[in-house]
Chains A and B, each alone.
Chain A
Amino acid sequence: MSEFEPRIVAFLCHWCTYTGADLAGTTRQQYPPNIRIIHLMCSGAVDTIYVLKALIDGADGVLIGGCHPGDCHYQTGNYKARRRVAILKNILSQLGYDPERIWLRWISASEGKLFADTVTQMVEELKQKGPNPIKKMWAL
């Protein structure tokens, strides 16, 4: 049986992390192809329902990428995303679900290498964790 390859759904903000991912490509940074990117205007636009939907439908991890504190194009979207993610992770860990399948990271438009490194590291850690246990559940 081939090695488990985690699938990551990534919500990336237009102004920083998405552009950072673009830079990773144009500067030929290598990173594993396990990530499916959803392009949003701001990390503050990520309602927790979409993170849950990705995990319940079988993603092994969710990456949310936003601008560094103070750099949000909309002033405070990333701070609000940070609270929402903290609330979601708190709820999931109380209910016995590993919150470390959800990563919130600040990656700027100039940090192509950081983007590639983050994805590489996330894939590594998800491989250690194994497949998302929700995938085995048929009654949801």
Chain B
Amino acid sequence: MKAAILSVENGDPLAALRGFLRRLLETRMVGMILVPKALPSGAGFVQTLIRDPAMLDDVHPVAPTMPVQSARILSGLTVGDPGERIGAVLKPCELRAAVELTKFLQVKLDHLVTIGVDCPGTYEVEDYARVAGEKGAGDSLWEGMVRGVKTGRLDGQEEEGIALRLACRICENPVPVNADITFGFFGHDPSREIEVIVGERVVGEFEERGIIGLSSEESSERGQVISQLKEERIRKRDEVFGRFRQQTTDLQALMSTFSTCVRCHNCMVACPICYCKECVFRTPTFEHQSNQFVRWADRKGGIQMPTDTLIFHLTRLAHMATSCIGCGLCDSACPSGLPVMTLFRTVAQGVQSLFDYLPGRDPEETPPVATFREDELQVETGAKD
């Protein structure tokens, strides 16, 4: 691993980042770049696959919204051979989701150069669009973020009528793990400089192509700001988890919280980890005979229709809590504003700690559901004496 300082001119970090990405294309380090680009309407950003360097003009590598999880896009892009090496600019949670999907053979890292960014957090798509509609307000949000990364104070923008998504406010992983290239902002003043960290997998090629002079050690200031930010986020996370645990004393309480679920399954569609092409909830597995519903209603006096809220959420937990990376797009997708992310992250913490597993940490790790140890979980085995 080696690092370099990318100097920023005219106080414009985006121009420096765009220049760097252009260099990756021009030196054929990558054939294409996947990166968020400003929508023509100005209302937000969208991941865009770019070949022509001229199209990099208004890309935003640290876009303050995340309309879709890029891991989903990478699945389509890399599961076959794209014929080009693709540089993918990813937020830390997108990178972790992509790493998790490689373990389920849905993403192939061979075809990618992952470009992770220190992530100040994201706004809800509709919040950003509303604020961006007011003249120049989108720019002022960005400027606030640029100022915030120096000290790691990022969450004080509620007073401007827009707050980071809850998932981001409690995210203890704001830094990319094992990216091939990392854009480091924390601890730096991005109006003057950005740290570029290059990982083992590509460092040789980087030097050969002379993309940037790599010499310096990683800055210690960045490390300090990151650990402070993590500490703060963990405190907030534990508050949110604690409140949820207190109010979820039994399944009845869970169902009260989720009583306004409209069973649109949007949380499942938005989730990067729910990758099954044929989800059990989209098959006739639990289509019942008409008279079955009548028998249930008869037994209980009446039943809520349709009948699948509890089994839907519990099954999704059982299927993917081990791999939940906490991006919170389930929250963003929910039309009823249910605390889906809070449910998943709280429960996932318990399940992941069973196996000392952190999803997205390392592509070489096997997900808990795909492996076992012979000498574990002895309490579950055998008949009782």
Contact = CB atoms under 8 A, between A and B. Distances in A.
A56 B318 contact: no
B304 A83 contact: no
Contacts of A82: 372, 376-377, 380-381
For the residues of A in contact with B, the DSSP-based class is helix
Contacts of B252: 133, 137
B212 interface: no
Contacts of A91: 314, 317-318, 321, 347, 350-351
B273 to A, nearest CB: 14
Interface in A79-96: 79-80, 82-88, 90-92, 94-96
Interface string B357-385: 00000000000110110101100111110
B318 A48 contact: yes
Contact of A106 (B254, B371, B381): B381
A10 B347 CA distance: 26
Interface stretch (A1-9, A24-32, A34-42, A113-121): A113-121
Contacts of A117: 383
Interface residues of A, number: 44
A47 B319 CA distance: 9
Nearest to B355: A83
B286 A53 contact: yes
B253 interface: yes
Contacts of A80: 369, 372
A76 interface: yes
A52 B313 CA distance: 11
Interface in B210-256: 245, 248-255
Given A133-B250, A138-B304, A139-B304, A86 B377 contact: yes
Q: Specify which of B248, B314, B319 lies most central, judged by the most chain A CB atoms within 10 Å of its CB.
A: B314
B307 interface: yes
A138 B311 contact: no
A86 to B, nearest CB: 5
A95 to B, nearest CB: 6
A88 B318 contact: yes
A69 B350 contact: no
Contacts of B382: 68, 105-106
15 contacts: A47-B280, A53-B311, A68-B382, A69-B381, A80-B372, A83-B372, A87-B351, A91-B351, A96-B253, A97-B250, A118-B383, A121-B384, A138-B300, A138-B302, A138-B304
